[in-house]
Amino acid sequence: MTVESYVTSADGTRIAYERTGSGPPVVLVGGGLDDGAENAPIAPELAGEFTVVNYARRGRAGSGDTPPYALAREFEDLAALIAMVGGRAHLFGASSGGGLALEAAAAGLPVDRVAVYEVPYFVADDQLLQWREYVVNLQALLAEGRRDEALELFMRLAGSSEEDIARARSAPVWPSLRTLAPTLAHDAACLGDGHPPPRLAEITRPTLILTGDNPFFHDAATAIAKTVPNAQRETLAGQGHVADPTRLAPTLSRFYHAS
């Protein structure tokens, strides 16, 4: 992500962001191993109708990461960005960034509408056990500075084959992923124990739960929709875990403009 500006969070951490367009503000919240680049293509699709803020979450790209980490610090980062655009904003969160967006709304941040895409919560007991084992192992690997193995662990959780992992390790992007590896712990914090937490019932704002074609995310979305009041559920047919921005943006626009 190309950094244009910074805001200062409550703990003094500088958070890098790009701001484009005009109109009601929308803050884009990235997911795992994303420094803002994954959401960047959505910004120009929305910028004709909205002020779009795409930011690098703490520990990514130009954003700092003042220790100790806590999920509440990420709420404060969002609060600083929302204050910068006038005090209220819509949120869009992708993947684990959707978990962060939902948690922030439940915590009472001044948001208007919240849309999330394919939040990777787990529903089945075996999936929850796998998630909790992943978190324990991830923390141990990162504590020992074993970033490559932490990345491999994450990729296996996401369903990558050993061949996929071998190709990724030899790809030019791998060093950048190693830099981002410590933030995998941040994303784990956004998803908590792996199941949609009961506190999401405290969300008072209209919420849109989006998925593509993968049935795993459908199960998660159903669980979220059962927990969050005022939740709407929609599927974008033909979409993978990173949705085509030309398909995603019109759906977001309709939702954010709804009365």
At 85-100, the pLDDT tens digits run: 999 999 999 999 999 9
Q: According to the model, what pLDDT value does residue 259 have? A: 73
Structural domains in the chain, sorted by start: 5-121+196-257 (3.40.50.1820), 125-188 (no CATH)
Q: What is the largest CA-CA distance in the chain?
A: 50
Phi first, then psi: what are they for 135, rounded to 5°? Answer: -60, -45
pLDDT band for 230, please (50, 70, 90 cuts): confident
**pTM for the model:** 0.96
Tokens of 257: 């403009």
Query: Within 13 Å and on the Cβ side, how many CA atoms surround 254?
Result: 7
Instruction: Show Cβ contacts of residue 160 under 8 Å, excluding neighbours closer than 6 positions.
Output: 168
For residues 75 and 195, give the distance between their C-alpha atoms in angstroms, rounded to a whole number: 20
Question: What tens digit of pLDDT does each residue of 97-132 get?
Answer: 999 999 999 999 999 999 999 999 999 999 999 999
pLDDT of residue 163 exceeding 70, the answer is yes
Q: Is the dihedral of CA 182, 103, 118, 247 positive or negative?
A: negative
**Mean of pLDDT values over 199-215:** 97
| Matching residue, tokens 């100790």 | 68
pLDDT of amino acid 3: 52
Per-residue pLDDT reduced to its tens digit, 29-72: 999 999 999 999 999 999 999 999 999 999 999 999 999 999 99
Give the integer Cα–Cα distance in Å for 148 and 174. Answer: 9
Give which of 29, 255, 224 is closest to 236, Cα–Cα.
255
